[in-house]
Structure 1
Amino acid sequence: MIKVALMPQFFGWAGGLEFLRNISIGLHSVADKYDLRLVIALNHDFLNSPLYEIFTDYFQQITFSRDIIYYDAVTTDLAVRLQENSVSVVVAVNGDLGATFPVPWISYIPDFQHKYFHHLFTEHECFSRETAFAARLRDCKAMLVNAQAVKQDLQIFYPWINSKRIFVLPFLPILQPSWLDIEPTNAQRKYQLPKRYFIVCNQFWVHKDHSTAFRALAALKDTNVHLLCTGTLEDYRNSLYQQELKTLLDELKITERVHFLGHIPKLDQISLLKGAQALVQPTLFEGGAGGGATYDAVAVGVPVLLSDIAVNKEISIPHVQFFVAGDARHLAVLMEQLLRCPCSRLARSELLQQMHENQQRLGGALYKSIKYTLDVYAQLNEG
């Protein structure tokens, strides 16, 4: 048996925890085929953090069993706890366990945003990301990334890295079957929302470019259509950003048509997503194609209007339409088209078939990285 551990401590944002949830589902889908067992390693400090509530919200939707172990710190008892529980490999560590860590581990880098949008980071943050990424690349035997674009960045910024140890997880949206039974009207009533709306499901970070979505809404001829925004409202890098967006809404005279819901329970978000005309994803930068919101929208068969940045163009499926990033007029044209001619949505059976195929492909891609890593460690031990 191969025991595979996941470590939520290293994923300090909601989208990161969703990524980890999807990895767990992918691994479970091939557990019998490859004799895998999932282990969740929880840091005691993480249990007392606000993110633990988000973690439990996401993972309580998963019905399969997994072992849970607890540890105090990476530098003290983590290795002991993993070895006591016969963990074979730790997967997707968004950090550095070190070259001499006794349990095989696979690293993860989300993106190189600081290289392209360094103005959104402090000088210290840029140096911190740079040194952290370099350290984990130096110490890990294999690394997971979420897109070909990230692997290409790795090869550009670190041309001496052996590309064979970089594993790309393809765009494979994972559906929770229970989502298919959720009625959109439930959350619409709960939050007292209109029936006709588009939705943006992003944290309010500057690079998510909510302003383009707002300008597009203002350009629509149908003034009865609204826009819902879910996600944490603060960007720690710009404390004034939320107020700047609200000022823009006032200037565009659409304040009453835009609803800031903040971070809401996952099932409420899925409910509202299913009731939307489409997901609007205006993001200017992502480490994975489309970001987590696009994963969810495609999983439940909701149309997506997506910015045409390079990483997003790795998606090639029906009902995902691209607009020029930052071009509110182009986005408004696509929104108008959807209002006039709504897309037909996949039937339940088609969504379930898509889910099954995606889970298997994701599990297979993850196992490939696990086998490579275990083989490398075995060769080192033999040497």
Structure 2
Amino acid sequence: MSTTLGLIIQWGSDGWTGGPNYLKNIVLAIGTLPPSHRLRMVFFVLPEQIDHLGQYQSILHLADDIRPFVPGVSMDDVDVLYPFPAEDPGVSANPARAFWIPDFQHKYLPHFFSNEDIQWREKYFSYLACQKNAVILSSQSALNDFQKFFFPQCPTYILRFVSSLDDKWIQMDASSTLKKFHINNKYIICCNQFWKHKDHLSLFKAINILKKKNIYINLVCTGSTEDHRDLNYFNSLKEYIEQNNLSQQIQILGLIDRTDQIQLLRASMAVVQPSLFEGWSTVVEDARMFGKTIIYSDIPVHKEQNPPYGISFQAGNPFALAQAIEANLDKLNSTIGTQRELDAIAKNREARIKFGLDISKIVNIIGKKNKDIKIKAIYNIKNTFFAQKQWYHPAIAGSQTFASGLFDINIYKNVCNILNKIQKDDYIIFLNEFIKKGIENFKENWRYADICTVLYHLSKSLDVKNYLEIGVRQGRSMAMVASCCPEVDIVGFDMWIQDYAGMENPGPEFVRDQLLRLNHKGKLNLVSGNSQETVPAYFAANPQQTFDLITVDGDHSPEGATMDIRNVLPRLRIGGAIVFDDIAHPSHPQLINVWQQEVQSRPNMSCFEFTELGYGVAFAIRMH
């Protein structure tokens, strides 16, 4: 049976053409392989990209299936997900995840990035380096940088992409495209988005230097004119053109159709790639595909690509670029329809097959390794049912079942008994008296729920074997689970911040003592540090681990709570429960929104919320 690659369509709405072209090149290369080597492909589309699937029209017919990339989507038939996005939406943890890092530009050109962007890239790349999933890079240069700056412990692979030829491109008459864009003279072309590191300014200066020597070079530029890092950059380039009277020589077309761009590239006298940084340049590969002369900056990755008709110049030096153009004027001729172009196209077909085989080999290696560490025990035994023919989802009880037994006077009394066995703080004393008063005044009619009553009830009902908790503090919540299930294995995460919420936070040894008072016999692993870092690190070290019950009660900022939920939800067993505290806390009004967006909105989660009294609590059962 063929290995299945889940290809994640996550780019298109942001205007970046590199991402969609990368995915298309992968799919088209796989499509060239014989059936014995061809991967089965399932396209997973991020919801925000659905309206932009037109960019992928040329590859949609090659997909064996197309599905939304949302929580609960079926992935049982998928072996590897690639390229896995930086923001995990909480999908199944079973398929192997492979990540892609295009480049490490911020290390060399930090002035082109905001502090926030640099911090994000540093944190994300550091995380990828220490986790267990594969990271794929597009060049040896990129891998060298990864090893130099981040000391990766993860598996790494180099996958040098190849531009894929569409046969209709060589059957078209480029003259109609030239006419469409009113191009009447010979020209060189630069096919880069107008981002600062692409260094159009050096190219424009080189054109100006040559003009002053009475050498008039016409330049056509394609690519998006927006740089989100410097919104004024394109305007500054237009000002340079106007101030130096270059508007008759430089024609900027902006972002155009890929077919038109290819025809203009074919008809050009040469391609110019002045970029200051690349991970693996699509422009260089496009030039190679058609046997074009390309004048390129001498950055390491361009040297690694080593195009056959290449002329290098010192990166960032307009005088060196002008000299390279002038010294090679006799070589600047269109190769459209020539034997050189035909030979290059033949070599591209061979290179594309090799690229497809490289993809297949890497995906099969990653998929095989993942099968060896497949996540086990992904079902809560008590709350799932399986038959030879499965008509329903596996979970046999949803949130309404558990909610129906939640408001029970015996649960309130048992919670108070447990609280009386552990060391008390001011809140526990208050909670005990509050519950007693509710029982005394309203008896069986009283309706109250908090994190303690919910955890007690769920622990009893689900027969919890493995429990994860973010936000341990003194162990009050954990005590409920340990009392109901003495053999439960527990993993807890906390920063142990002193005087948290105005009360003591003695630390992990205090919590261990609390659980010993309750005769807890299972394993207890208390992890210190920021959960947004320690939880991913824990799962990287324990890739097969899942849980019957999970509590998220740590960072109460919307961003922190969101990240905690996203990190743990894929590890919740089907039929298991996640508990989220303080959804009605007056100091944290946004937590209810986090719950609704991250859990309640998921079609595979059955949810219940209580907000009438206290600080509010929510729980959800994973149905499938």
Tell me which interval the TM-score lies in, with the shorter structure as reference length: 0.7 to 0.9
1:339 corresponds to which of 329, 333, 355: 329
- Aligned counterpart, 2:282: 292
Structure 1 residues 369 and 132: CA distance shift in structure 2, 3 A: same
Matched, 1:266 2:263: no
Secondary structure of 2:20 counterpart: helix
Looking at structure 2, the residues matched to 166 and 357 of structure 1 have their Cα atoms a distance apart, in angstroms, of 25
The residue identity in structure 1 corresponding to 2:263 is S
Deviation, structure 1 residue 132: 2.1
More moved, 122-131 vs 215-224: 215-224
Q: Work out the percentage of aligned pairs sharing the same amino acid.
A: 28
The residue identity in structure 2 corresponding to 1:71 is P
- Aligned counterpart, 1:187: 177
- Aligned counterpart, 1:65: 62
Given that 1:142 and 1:167 are in contact with CA atoms closer than 8 Å, whether structure 2 keeps it comes out as: yes
Secondary structure of 2:236 counterpart: helix
- Which structure's residues are more often helix, by fraction? 1
Deviation, structure 1 residue 349: 4.2
- Aligned counterpart, 1:362: 355
Query: What is the root-mean-square deviation of aligned Cα atoms in Å?
Result: 2.4
Matched, 1:316 2:306: yes
The residue identity in structure 2 corresponding to 1:172 is V
- What is the correspondence of 1:169-318 to structure 2 with a 5 Å cutoff? 169-170=159-160, 172-220=162-210, 221=213, 223-288=215-280, 291-318=281-308
More moved, 116-125 vs 218-227: 218-227
Greater Rg, structure 1 or structure 2? 2
Structure 1 residues 42 and 99: CA distance shift in structure 2, 3 A: closer
In the comparison of the two structures, how many residue pairs are matched? 367
Summarize deviations over 1:157-197 as a string: whole Å, max 9, x none.
122525xx211123633322222123221221111123311
Secondary structure of 2:103 counterpart: coil
- Aligned counterpart, 1:41: 44
Deviation, structure 1 residue 348: 5.3
Structure 1 residues 332 and 160: CA distance shift in structure 2, 3 A: closer
The residue identity in structure 2 corresponding to 1:56 is G
Deviation, structure 1 residue 10: 5.2
Looking at structure 2, the residues matched to 238 and 361 of structure 1 have their Cα atoms a distance apart, in angstroms, of 39
Secondary structure of 1:305 counterpart: strand
Given that 1:277 and 1:342 are in contact with CA atoms closer than 8 Å, whether structure 2 keeps it comes out as: yes
Structure 1 residues 10 and 255: CA distance shift in structure 2, 3 A: closer
Looking at structure 2, the residues matched to 222 and 338 of structure 1 have their Cα atoms a distance apart, in angstroms, of 16
Given that 1:155 and 1:161 are in contact with CA atoms closer than 8 Å, whether structure 2 keeps it comes out as: no
Structure 1 residues 217 and 175: CA distance shift in structure 2, 3 A: same
Q: Which runs of 5 or more structure 1 residues have no equivalent in the other structure?
A: none
Looking at structure 1, the residues matched to 160 and 4 of structure 2 have their Cα atoms a distance apart, in angstroms, of 23
Looking at structure 1, the residues matched to 104 and 183 of structure 2 have their Cα atoms a distance apart, in angstroms, of 37
Looking at structure 2, the residues matched to 270 and 313 of structure 1 have their Cα atoms a distance apart, in angstroms, of 23
More moved, 95-104 vs 19-28: 95-104
Deviation, structure 1 residue 367: 1.8
- Aligned counterpart, 1:25: 28
Matched, 1:56 2:57: no
- Aligned counterpart, 2:17: 14
Structure 1 residues 201 and 120: CA distance shift in structure 2, 3 A: same
The residue identity in structure 2 corresponding to 1:8 is I
Structure 1 residues 223 and 188: CA distance shift in structure 2, 3 A: farther
More moved, 275-284 vs 153-162: 153-162
Structure 1 residues 211 and 332: CA distance shift in structure 2, 3 A: same
- Aligned counterpart, 1:90: 81
Structure 1 residues 64 and 100: CA distance shift in structure 2, 3 A: closer
Q: Which runs of 5 or more structure 2 residues have no equivalent in the other structure?
A: 377-543, 545-624
More moved, 195-204 vs 32-41: 32-41
Deviation, structure 1 residue 81: 2.7
Given that 1:4 and 1:89 are in contact with CA atoms closer than 8 Å, whether structure 2 keeps it comes out as: yes
Given that 1:30 and 1:363 are in contact with CA atoms closer than 8 Å, whether structure 2 keeps it comes out as: yes
- Aligned counterpart, 1:152: 144
Looking at structure 1, the residues matched to 326 and 266 of structure 2 have their Cα atoms a distance apart, in angstroms, of 19
- Aligned counterpart, 2:102: 110
Looking at structure 1, the residues matched to 60 and 196 of structure 2 have their Cα atoms a distance apart, in angstroms, of 36
Looking at structure 1, the residues matched to 60 and 9 of structure 2 have their Cα atoms a distance apart, in angstroms, of 18
Looking at structure 2, the residues matched to 304 and 341 of structure 1 have their Cα atoms a distance apart, in angstroms, of 10
Summarize deviations over 1:46-75 as a string: whole Å, max 9, x none.
123xxx1xx534x333485323423253xx
